[in-house]
Amino acid sequence: MVKMSIYDFSIKEINGSPIDLNELRGHPFLIVNTASNCGLAPQFTDLENLYKKYHDSGFTIIGFPSNDFKQELDQEDEIVEYCKVHYGVTFPMGEIIHVNGSQTSPLFKFLKDQSGGMIKWNFTKFLVDGDGKLVKRFAPITKPEKIEPYLKDLLDVNTAKS
């Protein structure tokens, strides 16, 4: 049996455009399940700050809205607008997905299998290195700035490889 890689998954932006994870090969990225009406939604601002600070170094964030915890808006265009207006989000947002249950997105099933199972709440964060390996899963309450030291290490490794 061939072991899957994160680069094997087909995902879509919230507007329906495909996101080719292969384009992220060689660069670290963060995947986050999000919800606009969650008490942790102010993390969008901190995530955006992290994205802006390191995007020129090849880092990206992909947020995936999920209503599994009944805290997401219903319409994708509302989600995009809400995140831009209230939190200044410019990082890519994936389509609305399920993170738990029988309809779990294949990408999130893979991430959960790699990191210890069920997602307990919105804003669970998965840091992936440039080789496509999951480096660390961060709890929903972990503030994005706490991810920065791990990210700096990954970016230093990428600089050393160049």
Distance, CA of 62 to CA of 94 (rounded, Å): 6
Distance, CA of 134 to CA of 53 (rounded, Å): 21
Quick one: CA dihedral 106, 76, 85, 68, positive or negative?
Answer: negative
Q: Are 114 and 134 in contact (CB under 8 A)?
A: yes
Catalytic, 83? Answer no
Helices within the chain (DSSP H only): 43-54, 76-87, 106-115, 148-161
Catalytic residue among 6, 32, 35, 38: 38
> Among all residues, which ones are annotated catalytic?
38
